[in-house]
Amino acid sequence: MSDRPSQLPKIGEKEGQGLEFKRAEVLRSNEGRRKLLREVVAMLNSEAGGRILVGLAEEKGAFTGLDPLGEEDRQFEDNLRDALLDAIEPRIQDAECRLDWVPVPGGLVLELQVRPRIPAPVPPFCLRHGEKRVYLMRCHDRIRPMSYDDLRSLVAEGGDGSESWFQEVTEKANSWFDVEERPSYFLLLGLQPRDGSKEVRLPEDSPQVVNHPPQEIAPPQGWTFVTAFGGSAKWARGGRELRSGDPESGYREIRADHTGVFAFRTLLHHLQWDVPENWRGHHPDAPGMLYPYALVDSTVSVLRLAAKLWEEHLHDADLHASLRLTHTKGWLLPPYRPNTIGYHMVESWHATREEEITSGPHRMAAEAFAERPDALAFQLLTDVYAEFDYWPKHIPCFDPATGRWQAP
Per mean pLDDT, which range of 41-55, 118-132, 178-192, 328-342 is the poorest?
118-132
Who's near 321: CB < 8 A, 6+ residues apart? 187, 188, 189, 190, 303, 360, 361, 362, 363, 364, 376, 380
**What pLDDT shows up at residue 302?**
92
Which burial class, exposed, middle or buried, applies to 356 when counting CB atoms under 10 A from its CB (0-12, 13-18, 19+)? middle
Evaluate if residue 193 carries a pLDDT over 70. yes
Distance CA 15, CA 52 (A): 10
Radius of gyration of the chain (CA): 22
Beta-carbon-side half-sphere exposure of residue 60 (alpha carbons within 13 Å): 3
Are the C-beta atoms of residues 400 and 392 closer than 8 Å to each other? yes
Which burial class, exposed, middle or buried, applies to 133 when counting CB atoms under 10 A from its CB (0-12, 13-18, 19+)? middle
Question: In which band, very low, low, confident or very high, does the pLDDT at 278 lie, cut at 50, 70 and 90?
Answer: confident
**What pLDDT shows up at residue 220?**
58
Among candidates 165, 219, 211, which has minimal Cα distance to 192? 165
Are the C-beta atoms of residues 246 and 311 closer than 8 Å to each other? no
- Residues of the chain above pLDDT 90, percent: 45
Per mean pLDDT, which range of 216-220, 256-260, 374-378 is the poorest?
216-220
Evaluate if residue 407 carries a pLDDT over 90. no
Averaged pLDDT, 97-112 = 95
Averaged pLDDT, 307-312 = 94
Evaluate if residue 360 carries a pLDDT over 60. yes
Evaluate if residue 19 carries a pLDDT over 50. yes
**What pLDDT shows up at residue 267?**
92
Distance of CA 154 to the CA centre of its chain: 22
Residue 162 sits at φ, ψ, to 5 deg, of -65, -35
**What pLDDT shows up at residue 154?**
56
**What pLDDT shows up at residue 43?**
94
Amino acid of residue 362: H
Q: pLDDT tens for residues 279-303?
A: 889 999 999 999 998 899 889 989 9
Among candidates 298, 304, 296, 321, which has minimal Cα distance to 396? 296
**What pLDDT shows up at residue 55?**
97
- Which residue ranges make up each domain of the chain? 2-143, 162-405
Question: In which band, very low, low, confident or very high, does the pLDDT at 257 lie, cut at 50, 70 and 90?
Answer: very high
**What pLDDT shows up at residue 76?**
94
As a three-state string, the secondary structure of 359-396 is EEEEEEEHHHHHHCHHHHHHHHHHHHHHHCCCCHHHCC
Distance CA 255, CA 245 (A): 9
Superfamily of domain 2-143: Schlafen, AAA domain (3.30.950.30)
More confident residue, 186 or 130: 186
Question: In which band, very low, low, confident or very high, does the pLDDT at 227 lie, cut at 50, 70 and 90?
Answer: very low
Mean pLDDT of the chain: 86
Q: Which residues of 360-371 are buried (b: 16+ CB within 10 A; e: fewer)?
A: bbbbbbbebbbe
**What pLDDT shows up at residue 283?**
92
Q: pLDDT tens for residues 29-51?
A: 988 999 999 999 999 988 788 99
Averaged pLDDT, 110-114 = 95
Question: In which band, very low, low, confident or very high, does the pLDDT at 223 lie, cut at 50, 70 and 90?
Answer: low
Evaluate if residue 219 carries a pLDDT over 70. no
**What pLDDT shows up at residue 284?**
92
Q: pLDDT tens for residues 147-189?
A: 766 666 555 544 455 667 888 888 888 888 877 788 999 999 9
Question: The pTM is what?
Answer: 0.66
Distance CA 312, CA 244 (A): 22
**What pLDDT shows up at residue 398?**
81
